[in-house]
Amino acid sequence: MLREVGATRYVEPLHSGGSVPGVVEADDLGTYVVKFTGSAQGRKALVAEVIVGELARALGLRFPELVLVHFDPAIAGHEPHQEVRDLHTASAGVNLGMDYLPGARDFTPELAEAFPVDPLEAGRIVWLDALTANVDRTVHSSNLMVWPTLGVAPPRLWLIDHGAALVFHHRWDTSAPDKAYDFRHHALGSYGPDVRAADAELAPKVTEELLRRVTAAVPDAWLSGEPGFGTPRELREAYVDYLYARVRASAAWLPTDFPTREDLAAEEARRAERTRRGRPDWLKRVPDLHGKPTAEQDWSVHLG
C-alpha cells in the first residue's frame, strides 16, 4: 500500500502539464508533486499513475515513490489564479503525490544528443510502455527526467507521468489485449532499444500476484462507480486479467521497428515543408521571429 502523508505547505503550481499539479511539502518533511483528483483528466489518470508507476518500480525501473497526500485547500489560499484555486477546492481530501526530484532536467531532444542510454535500458522502458499502452512518451514529450544533475552520482533516467497509459480502461468493451500501438516516435526509439531482451527478462516477472499487489495500491474511491463493474475489487480484477493477458500476448505487440535520429529529422523537415507550402502567400513573407530569416523571409526586403 502507498504511504499516506499530510500536505503542510503549498509551494507552487506546475503549469507545464494540462492537469496543473502542485509542489507541496508534507508532514514527513518530504516534497512532492501532487496530482489532484479534481483535474480535467479525472481519476482514471491517477489510477494509471499508480498501476504503471508501481509496476515500473517492481520491475526495477527508476520511478519516484508515490504517496497518498491529504490536501486541505486552505493551505493554498494564497494561490492568485482562480482556476487553480477551483481545482484545489474540487480536490479536498486524498490526492496522489510523487516524490520531487530537485534539480532534475527534462529529457529533451537536445539533451538526448549528449546522454547515452543503454539499448537494454531503452528496451525495458519501451517494453513497459507497450505493455501498458502508454501513448505519451514521445520525442516531443518524453516524460523522462535526468537526475541527479549535480555531479554527486552519474545521472540516470527516471520515468514520470503515466496518466495517459492504460488507454484500454477508457473503452473496456472494445480493447483487445494483443492490440499493437505505434511506437515509432518513442522518445528512446533512436537508441536501438533491445525490446526482445527486455521481453525475455520482464515478461516472466509480470505475474498475476504482482499485478494484484500493484492494483491493490489504488484507493477504492478512485475505482468506484465504473460502469459495468459492481465493486472496486471487480475492477481491480479486470486490470489484472487484461494486463496478464496482454503480457502473454507480447509477440503480437512487441515494437521492433524504430526510425533513426536522421529518419526523424528528415520526417520533421518534410512536415515543416508541407506546413510552409500550405501557408498563404502573404504569410510566407512574414519574418520568422524565432530563428534566422530564410531567403524567402529576408528582413532586408521588409526594412527597405
Q: How many residues does the chain have?
A: 304
What is the predicted pLDDT for the residue at 277? 79
Domain co-membership, 70 together with 150: no
Contact at 8 Å (CB) between 238 and 172? Answer: yes
Give the range of the structural domain holding residue 33, as residue numbers without chain letter: 3-99
In a domain, 138, yes or no: yes
Contacts of 119 (CB under 8 A, 6+ apart): 191, 192, 193, 194
Clarify whether residues 120 and 235 are in a common domain: yes
Is the residue at 299 inside a domain?
A: no
Same-domain status, 110 and 234: yes
* Structural domain ending residue among the three candidates 99, 117, 141: 99
Contacts with 114 (C-beta within 8 Å, 6 or more apart), sequence order: none
Which pLDDT score is estimated for 295?
Answer: 36
Residues 154 and 50 in one domain: no
Full pLDDT tens readout for the chain, 304 residues: 899 999 999 999 998 767 899 999 999 999 999 999 999 999 999 999 999 999 999 999 999 999 999 999 999 999 999 999 999 999 999 999 999 999 999 998 888 778 889 999 999 999 999 999 999 999 889 999 999 876 677 889 999 999 999 999 999 988 899 999 989 899 999 999 999 999 999 999 999 999 999 999 999 999 999 999 999 999 999 999 999 999 999 999 999 888 777 877 787 788 778 887 776 665 555 444 444 433 333 333 223 3
Q: Are residues 205 and 89 in the same domain?
A: no
Helices (H), the chain: 43-58, 82-89, 109-112, 119-131, 195-202, 208-215, 232-248, 250-253, 261-277, 281-284, 299-303
210 and 90 share a domain? no
152 in a structural domain: yes
Answer yes or no: are the C-beta atoms of 69 and 50 closer than 8 Å.
Answer: no
Residue 168 in domain: yes
Is residue 241 domain-shared with residue 114, that is, in the same domain? yes
Radius of gyration of the chain (CA): 22
The candidate with the shortest Cα–Cα distance to 256, out of 123, 65, 64, is 123
Q: Are 184 and 69 within one domain?
A: no
191 three-state secondary structure: helix
Kindly state whether residues 115 and 243 are assigned to the same domain. Answer: yes
| Burial label, 30 (beta-carbon count in 10 A; 0-12, 13-18, 19+) | middle
Q: Which of 99, 130, 147 is the last residue of a domain?
A: 99
Same domain, yes or no: 44 and 114: no
Q: Residue 199: beta bridge partners? A: none
Rounded Cα distance between 243 and 131, Å, is 7
Q: Which is it for the CA torsion 225, 231, 237, 238, positive or negative? A: negative
Q: Is residue 83 part of a domain?
A: yes
User: Does some domain include residue 269?
Assistant: no
C-alpha–C-alpha distance, residues 304 and 299, integer Å? 9
Distance CA 51, CA 239 (A): 9
Q: Are residues 80 and 138 in the same domain?
A: no
Entry pTM: 0.86
Query: Is 159 a domain residue?
Result: yes
Give the count of domains, the chain.
2
| Best CA proximity match to 273, nearest among 141, 187, 302, 265 | 265
DSSP β-ladder status, 93-99 and 22-26: unpaired
Beta bridge partners of 33: 23, 98
Please indicate, yes or no, whether residues 141 and 244 belong to a single structural domain of this protein: yes
Task: Determine, yes or no, domain membership for 174.
Answer: yes
Q: Among 61, 78, 99, identify where a domain stops.
A: 99
